[in-house]
Structure 1
Amino acid sequence: MPATFPSLPGAAWPVTKRPVTATRVEAHASGREVRSPLYPAALYEFTLPVEGLTPDGSFPGLGTASLQALLGLYVQCRGTWGTFLFTDPTDGAVANQALAAGDGATTVFPFVRTLGELTETVGWVTAVSRVTVAGVAQAGGWSLTVPNLLTFVTAPAAGAVIAADFTYAFLCRFMDDGVDFEHLMRGLWQVKSLRFRSTTP
């Protein structure tokens, strides 16, 4: 299980979330182009300033050891090498999300979330509170297979819509092999820009 990004009461605004894609473009003499997407799904880059970190609770609103929590995670990941789970407070839970329709044979379904007209697989499911098949809540007969699969003991009937209430996180890596932790005054630190990017589990 990857480490979890800590709760940071001193995180500030603005926070940026940038969808990133990649496309290969081949131009022909006729002027036409052939375009091929390189990523199966978008990745997301996050940037946030952390204006307040405390090592000893000198500033109660910043937690008791928020400096150690963030610094420890960064060192544990060795910069850009390791991964961690980040829960976006604006994009981390869905209710009654349709996942798929059964076909009478398939027992494993990926957890997805819908953005407008797009439905995409989520990175890492952290908890599942409810599963329904054809609108009927399932007390058992299913399990969460890490990181993002719903597995049934018995295949749902053909045409039966499978839905779920669940929470999820983004599996991420830091984008820099060095981050400046600034000591502003006794008991108060900050990080002006913390950058990390989602990756595929």
Structure 2
Amino acid sequence: MTTPPTFPTLPGQGSSVHKKPLFSTRVASHVSGREVRAGLYAHALYEFELTFDGLDSSGGFLGLQAQSLQTLIGFFLTAQGQLNSFLYVDPTDSAVSGQTVGTGDGTTTAFMLGRAIGGYFEPVSYVTGISSVTVNGVATGAYAFTAPNTITFSSAPASGAAIAWTGTYAFQCRFLDDQMDFEEFASGAWQNKSIKFRSIR
């Protein structure tokens, strides 16, 4: 599996970032007023919206990365709009340390890596690095990693053994639109007030 490209980190990105967890619930209403609800997603998808207050097209702005406009446009063109996926590293949600992901039962060998947020556990979208995997607190290398987020042990961990990992991850995403709007507000200086993309599975 080829690792998707990573969304570029640029100095002109604005401080305003929107992050929206999304679920999908089917609701069937009855004449009695009762409802039947069915959740269609096991875990949330995440929608992001970024702004870029300053992008350089000429190399004339010391505080901005030279030709950052071309970098961002080139990234969008490479993705071909909504067609291809990429990785987005959320600075506030991209690493775990000693995160428990399961408990051995003596039979199961494959475990999906994840993270807890506010007491809620879910699989991470795409693992970008594994520093350590432990079984009952003891580090082990007797596993194979399968992208995007699964480890498989060579032999099943013992019943009751806690499985934990330390590492980094990103959100695998696609752009929500096939076009992107850039505005030149001064000679060689550009901005983009809304870049939207959503995580995928």
So what's the TM-score if we normalise by structure 2? Answer: 0.94
Range that drifts further, 176-185 or 190-199: 176-185
Deviation at 1:35, TM superposition (A): 0.3
Q: Who is 1:7 aligned against?
A: 9
CA distance in 2, matches of 1:12, 1:191: 9
Confirm whether residue 44 of structure 1 aligns to residue 17 of structure 2.
no
Q: Who is 1:91 aligned against?
A: 93
Q: Who is 2:124 aligned against?
A: 122
* Structure 1 contact 128–144 (Cα < 8 Å) conserved: no
Q: Who is 1:24 aligned against?
A: 26
Counterpart secondary structure, 1:26 = strand
Deviation at 1:56, TM superposition (A): 4.3
Deviation at 1:29, TM superposition (A): 2.6
Q: Structure 2 unaligned segments of length 5 or more: list them.
A: none
Q: Who is 2:179 aligned against?
A: 178
Give the residue type in structure 1 aligned to 2:182: F
Deviation at 1:150, TM superposition (A): 1.3
Q: Who is 2:133 aligned against?
A: 131
Identity of aligned residues (%): 51
CA distance in 1, matches of 2:92, 2:168: 12
Q: Who is 2:107 aligned against?
A: 105
CA distance in 2, matches of 1:69, 1:107: 42
Deviation at 1:199, TM superposition (A): 0.9
Q: Who is 1:60 aligned against?
A: 62
Give the residue type in structure 2 aligned to 1:142: Y
Q: Who is 2:80 aligned against?
A: 78
Deviation at 1:39, TM superposition (A): 1.6
* Structure 1 contact 104–157 (Cα < 8 Å) conserved: yes
Q: Who is 2:150 aligned against?
A: 149
Confirm whether residue 35 of structure 1 aligns to residue 30 of structure 2.
no
Aligned CA RMSD, in angstroms, stands at 1.3
Deviation at 1:172, TM superposition (A): 0.6
Give the residue type in structure 1 aligned to 2:76: Y
Deviation at 1:45, TM superposition (A): 0.8
Deviation at 1:91, TM superposition (A): 0.5
Point out 4+ residue stretches in structure 1 off by more than 4 angstroms. Answer: none
Range that drifts further, 164-173 or 151-160: 151-160
